Amino acid sequence: MSRPYDLAELQRLDDECRAAAAGLGLDVPEVVFHLAPAERIYDIAARGLPGRYPHWRFGQDYERMKLDHDHGRSRIYELVLNTKPYQAYLLEGNSWVAQLLVMAHVYGHCWFFENNGHFAGVDRRFLPRVRAGADRIEAYCRRHGRAEVEDFVDAVQAVALHAPLRLVTARRSAPPPAPEPGRYDDLFPDETAAAHRAHEAEVAAWRDRVPREPDPDLLGFLLRHAPRLDDWERDVIAIIREEATYFAPQRRTKIANEGFACWIHSQIINGLQLETAEFMEYNRLNAEVTQPHPLSVNPYNLGLALWQEVERIHDRPTPEEAERFPVAGDPALSGRDRVLELAATVDDAALVASYLTPGVCDRCHLFAWERQSSTRLRCTATEADEVRDALVAQLRHMEVPTLEVVDADAFRTGGLWLAHRQEGVGLDPLFAANTLPLVARLWGRRVYVETVAHRPEGLRPVWYRCGPGDRQADTLTIAPAS
């Protein structure tokens, strides 16, 4: 039977975990733990951040997660927020061992947040702006009607994942270079004058073109240039875009972050003197968290296996691994130090690309597959190289298609032309046809998407076209005329 605890005992566990983390060489930042009921924790988990604006999707996620919790199908053991100071939540009713596991795990997360370079630009004092944004959206609901505001929020959220990793300004390009003077220009004045007129026309077109370069920040472009948005609608876009940018590094490092936290909590708890029954309970809980998932990649499972592989390769490399990794086997650097060194720089794609070995694939039960239709899958390989290539292709762009704004005045009618860049993540026809009407709702005029489709005879151009008020986009096999 797990030992009882109170707040004083939880504080003692916190002190032990912090001391153990420091003993592993971690410079642990300040963490504030909250003991909270399930309703509170699942509400924060559904929203992503406490105090975020209300929306039906958050309620849907809450009901699903809370129902799974009540029926014993799953539970949230840990919830930590990348804020200053870091905020972590302990679930009321968890056993003493479960609380210890969560605390040790949280210290791994907080070190990763603090040291990984992908979080360098994150504003950890973000929560007051989240609450202020929620208050403004709630005020818009009272002023314009909840249905209208929530419909607009739905449209913005449909493209929110296309926000860049950091808020960036539009890139600046230079005008077309002027023709260089030639030695014989005086002999051909008509040709020289024609060249200068052509250059002036190019410069004028460059000045008038919006955007001057393809812009990958779709929400940012809509915020700045959508011609028919009200001020409150632009404010809603700005709120959701800023939140999406805050979450982007977490999406980019999900596997590395969760795996590192598992690697840290294992070392912390293995170094503590637990009684036999408590250690057995810890092993059971740890196995539940880090077991492979049958239909998807478990980031806890794969991340832990990858960091263990980093440590093994550095401390006990095979001859092939020693040749591939120059620092492997370096006696001046331990495997643990190598893990900390890499954890400060990598994202999921880089970690998988370098350390997804056949041994990791076997332990994590990984295989590659391809989608033949919206509902049919086909297994293609279990070889580590193919699995690694398939997984890296998904992780490099976080499974989000790359769309760029190339013309804000398509066909000189004020239409918005988007181009899908073929970088490993395709456009699902069903999602494209149903998402484009939401983009048209934001732009206020017709929207076009240029892409390609995989056919048995090879790649074929495909265009999607949709106007405001259309329920679904048209799919075209020839270039649209307007």
The pLDDT tens digits along the chain (482 residues) read 568 889 999 999 999 999 999 998 898 889 999 999 989 999 999 999 999 998 888 889 889 888 887 777 777 777 999 998 999 999 998 999 999 999 999 999 999 999 999 999 888 889 999 999 999 999 999 999 999 999 999 999 988 887 665 444 445 566 667 777 877 777 777 777 777 777 676 666 656 566 777 888 899 999 999 999 999 999 999 999 999 989 989 999 999 999 999 999 999 999 888 899 999 999 999 999 999 988 789 999 999 999 999 999 999 998 888 888 888 888 888 889 999 999 999 999 999 999 999 899 989 988 877 666 655 656 667 788 888 888 888 888 777 788 889 888 888 888 999 988 876 667 788 888 889 999 999 999 999 999 887 666 767 888 899 989 888 888 887 878 77
| Residue 111, burial from CB neighbour count under 10 angstroms (0-12, 13-18, 19+) | buried
Q: Residues 6 or more apart from 20 whose CB is under 8 A from it?
A: 104, 267, 268, 271, 272
Please tell me the pTM assigned to this model: 0.85
3-state secondary structure of 425: coil
* DSSP label at residue 215: B
The H or E element that residue 86 is part of is strand 86-91
Tokens of residue 136, six digits: 């403004």
Contact 474, 464 (CB under 8 A): yes
Q: Which CB contacts under 8 angstroms, 24+ apart, belong to 39-44?
A: 39/66, 40/89, 41/76, 41/79, 41/89, 41/91, 42/66, 42/69, 42/76, 44/79, 44/81, 44/89
Closest CA to 307 of 346, 259, 257: 259
> Residue 19: left (phi > 0), alpha (psi -120 to 50), or beta?
alpha
Q: How far is CA 143 from CA 147, 179, 230, 238, in A?
A: 11, 57, 13, 19
Amino acid 169: pLDDT: 44
Amino acid 174: pLDDT: 65
Q: What are phi and psi of 341, to 5 degrees?
A: -65, -45
CA 14 to CA 263: how far, in whole Å? 18
Tokens of residue 357, six digits: 């070995």
Amino acid 209: pLDDT: 66
CA 134 to CA 137: how far, in whole Å? 5
The H or E element that residue 288 is part of is helix 276-290
* DSSP label at residue 48: S
- Which residue intervals of 184-228 are DSSP H helices? 189-208, 218-225
Amino acid 379: pLDDT: 64
CA 325 to CA 464: how far, in whole Å? 46
**The residue to which tokens 């968890």 are assigned:** 94
Contact 432, 162 (CB under 8 A): no
Amino acid 102: pLDDT: 95
Residue 159 Cα to chain centre, angstroms? 13
